[in-house]
Amino acid sequence: MTGWQTLFYKEVLRFWKVGFQTVGAPILTAVMYMLIFGHVLEDKVLVYGTVGYTAFLVPGLVMMSVLQNAFANSSSSLIQSKIMGSLVFVLLSPLSHWHWFFAYVGSSVVRGLVVGLGVFVVTVYFGQPSFVAPVWILVFAVLGAALLGSLGLIAGLWAEKFDQMAAFQNFVIMPMTFLSGVFYSIHSLPPFWQTVSHLNPFFYMIDGFRYGFFGVSDVSPWLSLAIVGSALLVVSGIAVNLLRIGYKIRH
């Protein structure tokens, strides 16, 4: 195996060895959301005029799980390696910054997709969405996981202790995820909050992903694709440059 493939394999094994925590726990969390929100709002909310609330909720929970776990994979791996001192062994290997990037982000995509698939398999029992455009589902799932994996890489490089990482996740990732339309259509919001939602790149990932199931969305899927793709280029470019200069990992 080449260098980046070995590092990629190691990162996949890292989360798979503790799958009960890294895969099982997020699936259980999504099921709890489904049971609570679906039970309370199923008979009271109809989205897009024809879609039941539980069916509407399934893609949102799947994509939320994909994004959160992709971020957690790369960020937790780097911060743990830095604090425990094991990162030096990766630094000693003849790997370029591109190798690091593809290995960490690639493993984050794998974890995000595995958790997302698990959430879908479990929650689809409660509400059965259709598959109008499966290609859009796959595209937004991969792009979203790659974007959050790259963002997790940046957070892992920046953070020097666990509380900094927790602050990044609790005050940036979680609010942007929950305010992205996972549990509601933004057309149900007042005009001001609709405008705020359009400034959140997480909204376009979830809205484009949901379009693949129902064929309808709050904005055009092409607009969502353009924004998500542009965000991925910017964030991944920053992550690659930080790896290139050895930001906070060579001292």
pLDDT of residue 115: 96
Task: Show me where the domains of the chain are located.
Answer: 19-245
pLDDT tens-place string over residues 7-55: 999 999 999 999 889 999 999 998 888 888 776 666 666 566 677 778 8
Contact in structure between 235 and 74 (CB atoms under 8 Å): no
Mean pLDDT, the chain, integer: 88
Q: What is the pTM of this model?
A: 0.91
pLDDT at position 43: 63
* Residue 28 CB partners (closer than 8 Å, separation 6+): none
